[in-house]
Amino acid sequence: MTSGGFFERLQTGLWKDNPGLVQLLGLCPLLAVTTTLVNGVGLGVATLVVLTCSNALVSATRRWIRQEIRIPIYVLIIASLVTCIELIFKAWFPALDRSLGIFIPLIVTNCAIVARAEIFASRNPVGASIADGLGMGVGFALLLMAIGAFRELVGQASILSGLDMLSGGAPFDGFSFADSGLLLAILPPGAFFALALAVALKNSIDQRRRRERR
C-alpha cells in the first residue's frame, strides 16, 4: 500500500474507506450512543484521539516489534490510551462521561482501531499513519455526529440537547421544534435504520459520480 499524499490519506478515511460506512467497523458504539448529536461528538472525538495516537505509537514502534507479539502490543497501547481518555473525560467532561458510560472504556474493543494498526500503521511511516488515523477518526466521528443529529431531530424533534456537557454551564435541553418526535428513531432499531440510510446515501452519491465520469 502506498502512503500517498497527506490529503489523499485523509480523504480515504473520510469518504472512500470510511470505517463506519464502508468497512462497517466499530458498529457497537456507533449504534449504541448516537441518540443525540452531543453524544456523537463526545464518542467521535474520543475515538479520533485514540485512533490517531495509537496509529502514531504503533507506527513509531513497528521496527522493534516482532510479528508474533504485535497483537498484545496493539492491545496494550490502545487500552492505555483509552484509559487516559477516560480519565481526561472524567476530569473535564464529567457529564459527558456519565452520558456515554461504558462506551468510553469500550473504545478499547472498537475494531476500527485495531484494524488501522494492523492494516496501516504497522507498515507505514509515522506521518502517514497519523494522517490515516486523522482521516479514519474524523470520518468515524462525522458519521457518529450525522447519525446522532438525525436520530435526535427525528426522535426528539430537537437538536444540540445536552450541549452543556461539552461547554459547561447550565443544563441545556437543545433547540426544540415540536413536543415529541418519532420515538422509534431513538430506540435501538432507529440506529440501524439511520446507519442503513447513511450507507445508502453514500452508495448512491458514489454511483452518480461514477456515471458522470463515464
Partner 1 sequence: MSGQTIIKTGATLAVIAAICTTLVAATYQLTSERIVANEKALLEQALQPALAGIFYEGGVSESRLVMLAPHDLPGNDTALIYRVYAQDKPVAALFAVTARDGFSGLIRILVGVEFDGTITGVRILQHRETPGLGDKIESARSDWIFQFDGRSMGNPAVTGWAIRNDGGEFDQLTGASVTPRAVIGAIRDTLLYFDVHRDEIFAAESTEDNK
Contacting positions for partner 1 (CB under 8 A): 35, 61, 64-66, 68-69, 72-73, 76-77, 79-81, 83-84, 87-88, 90-92, 94, 155-156, 171, 173, 180, 183, 186-187
- Compute the least distance from the CB of residue 213 to partner 1, in Å: 44
Pair 97, 89: CB distance under 8 Å: yes
Which of 66/214 has CB closer to partner 1? Answer: 66
Query: Smallest distance from the beta carbon of 180 to partner 1, in angstroms?
Result: 6
Q: 96 or 142: whose CB is closer to partner 1?
A: 96
Measured distance CA(82)–CA(100) in Å, rounded: 14
Check residue 59 and give left, alpha or beta (phi > 0: left; psi -120 to 50: alpha). alpha
The DSSP string of 137-184 is HHHHHHHHHHHHHHHHHHHHSEESTTTHHHH-SS----EESSS---GG
Place of cell 507498515: 123
- Least separation in angstroms between CB 129 and partner 1: 17
> C-beta of 83: minimal distance to partner 1 in Å?
5
| Separation CA 164–CA 173 (nearest Å) | 9
Q: For residues 2 and 67, which CB has a smaller minimum distance to partner 1 in the complex?
A: 67
Residue 105: CB atoms within 10 Å = 14
| Of 69 and 200, CB closest to partner 1 | 69
Nearer to partner 1, 24 or 154 (CB): 154
CB of 87 to partner 1, least distance (A): 4
